Amino acid sequence: MLYYPMSNGRSIPEIVRLVTAMQASDANGVATPAGWQPGEDAIVPPPKTIAAAAGREGEGFAYTDWYFSKRPLAA
């Protein structure tokens, strides 16, 4: 349930985008950045070990740093 004061407008496309982002996060174990749209990369959780970080190099992640990377979601 969302609460908006009656004096503020509602954006149905933003609510639909939010629900879609939450479903994608839940189904793929990722986080979606603000303004995320289907088809954009999602943020993957950081690796827990150095070996896991090294293992990601060949998996197609887009790296910002060893702990922050993104990947495309399956369609």
Q: Give the confidence band of 42 by pLDDT, cuts at 50, 70, 90.
A: very high
- Given this model, what pLDDT does residue 75 score? 63
Q: Give the confidence band of 58 by pLDDT, cuts at 50, 70, 90.
A: confident
- Given this model, what pLDDT does residue 1 score? 63
- Given this model, what pLDDT does residue 15 score? 87
Average pLDDT, the chain: 87
- Given this model, what pLDDT does residue 20 score? 94
- Given this model, what pLDDT does residue 19 score? 92
Q: Are 46 and 64 in contact (CB under 8 A)?
A: no
Q: Is the dihedral of CA 15, 20, 23, 25 positive or negative?
A: negative
